[in-house]
Every structure is written in structure tokens, then in C-alpha cells.
């Protein structure tokens, strides 16, 4: 794709549009170059007009001032390249704009590609993600995050009476999903092209439920059976990978099998000390220092460097043992699976972790925390009906006043009138899909 002479204005406007998303996309010459490699100028101009929740192709055609047939062709091409979400519902097509993560970064690297300069894109994404903290700070700014750690069920104490809910178990999530798909791990595939590969399995990224349906439709992931998905999950656990799932209770859309070497979320924790970049499980590791001999197996497999070895005197002898940083521990249980001496165990956290019920609830919570509720509402008012707006109001009612004041700062003076008008006039399948 020749971008040398492409005008920059469509790409700058698209960057600004993406930066209004709850996870953000800070301005950078590097990011501008990424957008130029992924989008044509016309596609960038279209993408900036697409909301983050689904809008019908018919409405989008009016918004973008495009013929519906031509728009359909553009959407098909962009969806196949992972630049738009494209679904069918009750005989109509609906479109939504993915964020950078989890979004078109992953969709670019979840399969082998001949149509993109993959090495250049990998280098540029590396630079954008990790050379400065700007992007990581934008994505992981609040307490509510995209992903949550799922504890390795083999690490849970036998006979423990602490309740483990169904949505906390990776095996339950996979076994009860209505659709399954698999793709390459985007992070490890990206690392391979960027020149710092790791040896962990590649075909491990599980898409589930609606996420599987969308990505399989777009050719980004391969449909698989429930049994094959369970086999991949168990193989990933055996390989010492940590399970990170969609941070919702219902309709989980993915489970990543993560390594500390390549995972973007884990690297944000390790490189920038962003300790809340992944929401912990409701478990935490505990080390019996009398049994531990400091062998370093747990240190080597912890994906966020939460375990270290200390040397000291015990009972008149100098010896080594492992210690765990409670603020860093994800509660994934990978360390437990590698301990040969029985010195590691998993214990319930003193306080249970909050997990949003649905994707809609998670996005609203993230928008409130990041001061982007106004952006979210203004961007999606055209497609939301009364039901969706009522759920936003419910979330607002449960939020402390200072956070709300910060969240609605971007709103224009017409905000309440716009909500009122939309609530009176909008309803239909879009509200069902958010």
C-alpha cells in the first residue's frame, strides 16, 4: 500500500476519533504511520464516522454520505482486514469501530498476512506501545480493565469451601460457550515479526461466543469445536501460560493464554509498573518459606515478576527462599504448577474483586473512570435506545460524585437535550446488541 503521498488529514482525524475511545490512542508520528499502513485515506475517513457500538449500515450510509452498496463493499474489505466489526442481525448488517487494543492490533497479528508489511508494522507497534508510557497510561488508566486473570483451577485447594463462581473458571467459560474459534496469539506473532520471539505455543488465542462469531465471519479466527477448545486450554496450562479472560461475567468473548515474554498487558506491568493493567483473580499465591528451597522455578514462570529470591539466615544456616509481592500477584496460579516441593499454595483474597456483568457495563465503568463518559455518549447517542441509556444512568447513580464530575467534563451544553431526543425516538435491534 503506497502511503508516501497520502494526505495526513484523514489519519489525524481518525487518531483523534480513536483517542476518544475509553482506552485511548495518544497522538504520535509512529501511530500516524501505522494508520497510513492499515487504512487508505477513504477508509480512514469512513472509520472516524463509525461509533464504537453497532450502527446499522443504513444509518452509517446516511452519516457518512455514502451510497449503501458502496459502503457495504468498503465495510466488507475493512472487516476482512480487522479494521471494522461487521455482523448480521435480523437480516441487517451492523458495523462498529474497534479500538487499538483489544482491536485492530490483535486482528492484524492473529493470522499470517501477505497483504501487509508485517515486520514494519510490528516494529512500529513496538515503538508506539513501549518506547514511552503514553499509550499504556491511556489504556490502563483506571481500575476497571479490559482483561482479568483466571486462576489455574489445578492450583485451588482441594476441599476448600470458598466459593469459586462459574465465570471465574476458564474450563466452565470454554465448556459453556455457544461458539468457539482459535487464532494465532497476536502478541507472540507480533513479537516474532518484531525480532524478539519466544518459544511458547502460537495457536492459543481462544475467541468465544459473539467474539468467535465475528472473527470467524471476518476470516480472522478459525472455528473449532468445544472439545478442541478445551484441548487448547489444557495444553496452554501445561505449557505454563496464564489465562487472561474478557473482564466480564456474562458472554465472555475471549480467553488469552499469556506469557510474560510477549503479552502486551503483562509487559505494561513489567515495563511501566502499571500494577492494575490486568485485574487479578480472587486468589493470591502464598509461599511456605520453611518448605521453599529457593529453586527459582516459580520466579522463572511468573509472567509479571511478582516473585523473587531472598537469601538469609534460618536456624543458624544461610539459605534461599522465594517471596511474593502481594501488590503484583495476579492470582493466576502458574507458579503453583511449577513448584516441586509443595511450598506454594493459592489462598482466597481478603476482598473479592469487582467484575462487570457485561461488556456494556465494563465500557461504561471504564469511561467514567477515564473521564470519557461524555465522549462515549455523544459518539453513540444516534444508535442507542432508552434501554441502553437507562443502563448508563444506573451506572452513574452507583458512582461517587467526584468521578462523575470528571467523567462528564467533555460534554457539550446540548447533552441533556440530545439524550432526551434520543430516548424519545430510538429503539430497536441496536439496543439489544450493546
Q: What's the pLDDT score for residue 407?
A: 56
Query: What values do phi and psi take at 114, rounded to 5?
Result: -105, -10
pLDDT above 70 for 426: no
Q: What's the pLDDT score for residue 408?
A: 53
Q: What's the pLDDT score for residue 403?
A: 59
Please list, in sequence order, all residues whose beta carbon lies within 8 angstroms of the beta carbon of residue 82, skipping any fewer than 6 positions away: 98, 104, 106, 107, 108, 110, 218, 220
Helix ranges (H only) for 157-302 are: 170-176, 186-194, 209-217, 226-238, 264-272, 297-301
Over range 35-64, report the average pLDDT: 94
Instruction: Identify the CA nearest to 109 among candidates 101, 118, 96.
Output: 118
pLDDT-based confidence at residue 433 (cuts at 50, 70, 90): very low
Report the top-level CATH class of 10-136: mainly alpha
pLDDT above 70 for 52: yes
The SS3 call for residue 403 is helix
Q: What's the pLDDT score for residue 422?
A: 47
CA diameter of the chain: 82
Element (H, E) at 325: none
pLDDT above 80 for 410: no
Instruction: Identify the CA nearest to 327 among candidates 305, 342, 346.
Output: 305
Q: What is the pLDDT of residues 102-160, one digit of tens each?
A: 999 999 999 999 889 999 999 999 999 998 999 999 999 889 999 999 999 999 987 66
Q: What's the pLDDT score for residue 378?
A: 77
Place of cell 473521564: 371
Instruction: Identify the CA nearest to 22 among candidates 380, 348, 331.
Output: 380
Report the top-level CATH class of 283-348: alpha beta
Bridge partners of 322, per DSSP, are 309
Show the cell assigned to 382. Answer: 444516534
pLDDT-based confidence at residue 1 (cuts at 50, 70, 90): very low
- Gap between the Cα atoms of 30 and 28, Å rounded: 5
pLDDT above 50 for 11: yes
pLDDT above 60 for 185: yes
Place of cell 480472587: 282
Least confident of 223-227, 391-395, 415-419: 415-419
Q: What is the pLDDT of residues 226-280, one digit of tens each?
A: 999 999 999 999 999 999 999 999 999 999 999 999 999 999 999 999 999 999 9
Place of cell 499470517: 112
- Gap between the Cα atoms of 372 and 364, Å rounded: 9
Instruction: Identify the CA nearest to 258 among candidates 236, 242, 279.
Output: 242
Mean pLDDT, the chain, integer: 88
Q: What's the pLDDT score for residue 382?
A: 64
- Gap between the Cα atoms of 190 and 184, Å rounded: 10
The SS3 call for residue 101 is helix
Q: What's the pLDDT score for residue 402?
A: 59
Least confident of 304-318, 370-384, 410-424: 410-424
Report the percentage of the chain scoring pLDDT > 90: 74
The SS3 call for residue 347 is strand
Over range 183-211, report the average pLDDT: 97
Q: What is the pLDDT of residues 367-408, one digit of tens each?
A: 888 888 888 887 776 666 666 666 776 666 566 655 555 555
Q: Is the separation of the CB atoms in 174 and 227 below 8 Å?
A: no
- Gap between the Cα atoms of 82 and 71, Å rounded: 16
Instruction: Identify the CA nearest to 106 among candidates 190, 176, 41, 179.
Output: 190
pLDDT above 90 for 332: yes
Q: CA dihedral defined by 52, 57, 61, 62, rounded to 10 degrees?
A: -80
Q: What's the pLDDT score for residue 409?
A: 53
The domain limits of the chain are: 10-136, 144-272, 283-348, 359-433
Show the cell assigned to 334. Answer: 502458574
Amino acid at each position: 500500500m503506497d502511503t508516501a503521498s497520502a494526505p495526513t488529514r484523514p489519519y489525524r482525524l481518525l487518531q483523534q476519533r480513536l483517542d476518544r475511545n475509553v482506552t485511548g490512542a495518544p497522538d504520535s508520528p509512529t501511530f500516524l504511520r501505522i494508520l497510513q499502513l492499515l487504512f487508505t485515506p477513504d477508509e480512514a475517513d469512513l472509520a472516524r464516522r463509525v461509533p464504537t457500538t453497532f450502527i446499522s449500515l443504513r444509518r452509517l450510509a446516511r452519516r457518512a454520505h455514502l451510497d449503501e452498496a458502496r459502503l457495504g463493499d468498503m465495510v466488507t474489505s475493512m472487516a476482512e482486514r480487522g479494521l471494522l466489526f461487521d455482523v448480521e442481525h435480523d437480516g441487517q448488517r451492523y458495523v462498529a469501530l474497534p479500538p487499538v487494543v483489544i482491536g485492530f492490533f490483535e486482528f492484524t497479528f492473529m493470522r499470517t498476512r501477505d497483504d501487509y508489511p508485517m515486520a514494519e508494522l510490528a516494529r512500529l507497534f513496538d515503538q508506539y506501545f513501549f518506547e514511552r508510557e503514553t499509550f499504556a497510561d491511556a489504556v490502563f488508566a483506571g481500575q476497571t480493565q479490559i482483561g482479568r486473570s483466571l486462576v489455574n483451577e489445578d492450583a485451588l485447594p482441594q476441599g476448600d469451601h470458598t466459593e469459586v463462581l462459574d465465570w471465574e473458571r476458564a474450563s466452565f467459560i470454554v465448556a459453556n460457550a455457544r461458539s468457539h474459534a482459535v487464532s494465532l496469539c497476536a502478541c507472540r506473532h507480533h513479537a516474532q515479526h518484531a525480532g524478539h520471539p519466544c518459544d511458547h505455543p502460537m495457536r492459543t488465542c481462544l475467541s468465544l461466543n459473539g467474539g468467535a462469531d465475528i472473527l470467524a465471519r471476518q476470516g480472522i479466527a478459525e472455528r473449532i469445536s468445544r472439545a478442541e477448545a478445551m484441548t487448547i486450554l489444557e495444553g496452554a496450562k501445561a505449557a505454563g501460560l496464564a489465562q487472561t479472560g474478557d473482564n466480564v461475567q456474562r458472554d465472555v468473548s475471549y480467553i488469552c493464554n499469556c506469557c510474560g515474554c510477549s503479552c502486551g498487558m503483562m509487559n505494561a506491568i513489567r515495563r511501566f509498573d502499571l500494577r492494575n493493567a490486568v485485574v487479578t483473580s480472587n486468589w493470591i499465591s502464598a509461599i511456605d518459606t520453611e518448605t521453599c528451597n529457593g529453586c527459582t522455578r516459580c520466579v522463572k514462570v511468573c509472567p509479571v515478576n511478582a516473585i523473587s529470591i531472598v537469601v538469609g539466615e534460618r536456624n543458624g544456616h544461610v539459605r534461599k527462599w522465594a517471596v511474593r509481592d502481594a501488590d503484583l500477584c495476579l492470582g493466576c496460579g502458574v507458579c503453583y504448577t511449577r513448584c516441586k516441593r509443595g511450598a506454594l499454595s493459592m489462598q482466597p483474597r481478603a476482598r473479592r474483586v469487582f467484575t462487570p456483568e457485561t461488556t456494556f457495563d465494563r465500557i461504561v465503568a471504564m469511561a467514567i473512570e477515564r473521564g470519557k463518559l461524555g465522549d462515549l455518549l455523544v459518539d453513540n447517542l444516534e444508535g442507542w435506545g432508552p434501554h441502553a441509556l437507562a443502563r448508563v444512568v444506573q451506572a452513574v447513580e452507583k458512582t461517587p460524585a467526584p468521578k462523575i464530575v470528571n467523567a462528564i467534563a467533555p460534554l457539550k451544553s446540548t447533552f441533556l437535550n440530545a439524550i432526551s431526543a434520543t430516548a424519545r425516538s430510538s429503539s430497536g435491534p441496536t439496543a439489544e446488541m450493546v
